[in-house]
Chains A and B, each alone.
Chain A
Amino acid sequence: MTERPRLAVVGAGPAGLAAALAAAARGVQVTLVDAADQAGGQFYRQPAAALGARRPQALHHQWRTWERLRDGLDRHRTAGRITQLTDHHVWCVARDSASGAFAVHALLGPAQEDGVTVRADAVLLATGAYERVLPFPGWTLPGVVTAGGAQAMLKGGLVLPGRRVVVAGTGPLLLPVAAGLAAAGAWVAALVESAGPGALLHRAPALAAQPGKLAEGAGYAARLLRHGVRTLARHTVVAAHGTDRLEAVTVAALDRDGRPRPGSARRIPCDTLAVGHGMLPHTDLAETLGCTLSGTAVRVDAEQRTDVPGVWAAGEATGVGGAALALAEGHIAGRSAAARLRGTAPDPGGWGAARTRTRLRAFATALDAVYAPPAGWADRVPDETVVCRCEEVTAGEVRGAVDSLGAGDLRTVKLLTRAGMGWCQGRMCAPAVAGLAGCPLTAGRRPFARPVPLGVLAALPETE
């Protein structure tokens, strides 16, 4: 038997799992690498095994699909076609330009002090996305968390951030988060969505083509009603209050132009605010490899190939559109990689997954337009509000760099103010800084996807 070509898949969420299964079933030796201690990614995040959850599906949707992915993974692992590496934080993927071979460099375990390198003939990046939160007064108070973060802590650790929760911001993620928190026993005082119900209607043709997705949304809405959660559409959180932790939020209605209506402000007491304004793709590994981005996402062709030979990408790293789209893209990427690695040309046009992908991408584009942050949000961030959480840089300091020092891009603002220079490397503040500076949100161009201990870097030449 000839040796099976080796594919390293980074990310074991819906996209990475679908890709790994498709490739492993077609003659490829797959190494599935993920930072988490279990497969599943964000959508199918599992409770830690030691918590002994006998009904984890109570916190999940599309559980059947998960069972299919999990069982497939188990089968291929047993057969030796997939090697699963958990607790591996990939900080860099390098391509040897002479041989075209790849080295996937990872840090081990939560401590991330020791390194390991995985070799492969091709790589598939399925690194997903993280949440965007735009700043407002009080957003750094303990008790204010991202909507997805509240969901992740609930699904993974079976804990709630507090008792009385407001879920706010914009986007399709808010519904499942509010429903999940309510089902798990939190009192969800309000779901505050800045998009208006009318905005959905404007996009009716694109949305109507997706009866299943609309039904999903309606299902969440019905569940929220059952838990007595009131939805405040076309409303926004204008401030979070408290001294050392969150005590209340002020919400206000938005007018047609996205401005808070005078006199509409009201205070809602709460100990938790779960807030989010959409998602941003994780593109660091692709950027270091030299893959071209399109906007903030990795650019791929019909086969989910990036423009760097041997590098595929799938799921939310290539554009945000939910778990079903991630699955379709992952499947296509896995099949394409398998065909290409064996020297044949695939024809994704004939695959069902390609039609699903087309449909779901159109749906995602329509949703994107509906769930845009309210116009002029950046102008309403007060000068004294911290924008860069790591370096504690305020909106006023960013405006100063732009107005008096002429900074016109993220890099210059960073050099002048330190916004984006801290631990998170600008992942959290870049959208806000771009909004305040009136410049496009460009990719971070971070040297590594994770902070790397010097010892690991120093040891590299020996392992290469």
Chain B
Amino acid sequence: MNPRELTRARPGPARTVTFDGRPLEALPGQTVAAALWAAGVTAWRSTRDAGRPRGVFCGIGVCFDCLVTVNGRPNQRACLVPVRPGDDIRTQEGTGRDDD
């Protein structure tokens, strides 16, 4: 059993995105976080001080732990942002800006 079978989901065709340059299949309607989870990825940020990995924590846009860089824009909440075909998703280091 998986969630899609359980809800008898018939998603549209998967689209390809990249995570740190590696191609992944993502389903339409999923957030960036959902697409990464579906691909077995649970971390996509490293913290500013200790450089520790982080991913989803609250899942609803409150904690900002899931910040990620999408198409060059840092600080996107992966649990809110829908995935789009061709998205270039990258692990965010620190603040995600060069002046860090």
Identify the A interface with B (CB < 8 A). 35, 37, 42, 47-56, 58-59, 110-111, 130-131, 140-146, 148-154, 156-162, 183-185, 244-245, 389-390, 392, 422-424, 427-428
Contact = CB atoms under 8 A, between A and B. Distances in A.
Contacts of A162: 42
A152 B42 CA distance: 16
Contact of A389 (B7, B37, B65, B76): B65
Nearest to A154: B3
A42 B58 CA distance: 12
B30 A51 contact: yes
A142 B3 contact: no
Nearest to B28: A50
B53 A184 contact: no
Contacts of A161: 37, 42, 56
**4 closest cross-chain pairs (CB), A and B:** A149-B59, A157-B34, A48-B29, A50-B29
Contacts of B58: 130-131, 145-146, 148-149, 428
Contacts of B30: 48, 51, 157-159
Contact of B3 (A52, A158, A428): A158
A185 B3 contact: yes
A153 to B, nearest CB: 5
5 contacts: A48-B28, A58-B7, A131-B58, A185-B6, A245-B43
B10 interface: yes
B17 interface: no
B98 interface: no
A142 B53 contact: yes
A184 B64 contact: no
B76 A110 contact: yes
B81 interface: yes
B57 A389 contact: yes
A424 B49 CA distance: 17
A148 to B, nearest CB: 7
A56 B3 CA distance: 10
Contacts of A48: 28-30, 82
B29 A49 contact: yes
A348 B91 CA distance: 53
A51 B29 contact: yes
A142 B62 contact: no
A157 B37 CA distance: 10
B8 A55 contact: yes
Contacts of A35: 61
Given A110-B82, A158-B9, A42 B76 contact: no
Given A110-B77, A110-B80, A142 B7 contact: no
A51 B77 CA distance: 20
A148 B9 contact: no
A7 to B, nearest CB: 25
Contact of A392 (B7, B47, B62, B73): B47
Given A47-B9, A423-B67, A245 B42 contact: yes
A427 B7 contact: no
Given A154-B3, A389-B54, 5 more contacts: A131-B58, A153-B37, A245-B42, A392-B48, A428-B57
B70 to A, nearest CB: 10
B64 A56 contact: no
B37 A160 contact: yes
B7 A56 contact: yes
B31 interface: yes
B89 interface: no
A152 B59 contact: yes
Contacts of A131: 58
A392 B49 CA distance: 7
B12 A52 contact: yes
Given A153-B33, A157-B31, A392-B49, A145 B57 contact: yes
Contact of B50 (A54, A58, A154, A392): A392
B37 A158 contact: no
A427 B12 CA distance: 37
A47 B34 CA distance: 11
Interface in B10-35: 10-12, 27-31, 33-34
Contacts of B73: 111
A35 B50 CA distance: 32
Given A110-B77, A142-B43, A149 B60 contact: yes
A52 B28 CA distance: 9
Nearest to B60: A152
A53 B30 CA distance: 12
Contacts of A158: 3-4, 7, 9, 30, 34
Contact of A53 (B7, B38, B61, B67): B7
Nearest to B31: A157
